[in-house]
Amino acid sequence: MQRASHHDLRAQFRALLASNSCYHTASVFDPMAARIAADLGFEVGILGGSVASLQVLAAPDFALITLSEFVEQATRIGRVSRLPVIADADHGYGNALNVMRTVVELERAGIAALTIEDTLLPAQFGRKSTDLISIDEGVGKIRAALEARVDPDLAIIARTHAGVLAVDEVIRRTQAYQAAGADAICIVGVEDFDHLEQISAALSIPLMLVTYGNPKLRDNERLASLGVRIVVNGHAAYFAAIKATYDCLREQRGAQSSDLSATELTHTYTQPEDYIVWAEEFMNVKE
């Protein structure tokens, strides 16, 4: 079976960023998924933080998974992967010093690139899950990530949320991360091509978009022309696996068929209501 070193896979990812094309990620949540994605010809994969939380903890995406748990899964994938894999490293599992530890561990795991976002995580009680840290703190995390990496081909990607900020603020943030040395900018919440054009015109490094299949952003050539090199449409493969597991086990038990969707099943079995109650009870601090 064809093999590639971690450094070679990082070089492959760098070549994608330097190209004039736009590539769509495969959701690779375990070693088998990574092998399947490579065999099908995907150029790049992504290990999502939300998917890792589901797979390791059967828990909702409330920043509950620890760095060590995430790294364990990344390491399993890194042992067999024949395509470069991006790690969704959330907020770096803490402050800038935690970010340095995160980079060290994910680099050892064989990851080709990782995203560090400026979301305020874990979310404080009663606050939106899309609250952002200050630009200065975000810049500090990117600088710390760059300092911590050993292989210069490991790509550090700064991530922010364009759906919760005015476009001028998005530009200000992303330009600051670019100036700090980020290798690319990952943006969530872009509404359409007009929105994207305003942001991309202010930047000179490659872009990565998390679109969740937004139909207003489905023109690959236009995306490429605006500097978008990587697109994350979501993690449909893992949710399909949840649905298939449920249907298979129901059939084995002789139960009647069910029309529950993968989203409904995920909500049922991650039990988010329990976490909401616990947050109310233990995190609602009165100052």
Whether omega for the bond prior to residue 122 falls within 30 degrees of 0, making it cis, is yes
Is 61 annotated to bind a ligand? Reply is no
> What six digits make up the tokens of 14?
């760098």
- Angstrom distance (rounded) from CA 85 to CA 94: 22
- Angstrom distance (rounded) from CA 285 to CA 75: 38
Is 6 annotated to bind a ligand? Reply is no
Q: Locate tokens 């992504």: which residue?
A: 46
Cα 21 to Cα 24, 85, 205: the distances in Å are 10, 18, 14
Q: Is 190 exposed, middle or buried (0-12, 13-18, 19+ CB in 10 A)?
A: buried
Is 151 annotated to bind a ligand? Reply is no
Is 222 annotated to bind a ligand? Reply is no
> What six digits make up the tokens of 103?
């980079």
Cα 199 to Cα 13, 87, 205, 208: the distances in Å are 23, 24, 12, 12
Name every residue whose Cβ is closer than 8 Å to that of residue 281 and which is 6 or more positions away in sequence.
Answer: none
> What six digits make up the tokens of 54?
């589901």
Positive or negative, the CA dihedral 167, 169, 170, 172 is: positive
Residue 159 near residue 186 (C-beta atoms within 8 A)? yes
| Residues forming beta bridges with residue 40, ordered by sequence position | none
> What six digits make up the tokens of 197?
């054009």
> What six digits make up the tokens of 50?
């939300």
Q: Which amino acid is at 104?
A: V
Instruction: Show binding-site residues for Mg(2+).
Output: 88
Instruction: Show binding-site residues.
Output: 50, 88, 159, 235
Instruction: Show binding-site residues for substrate.
Output: 50, 159, 235
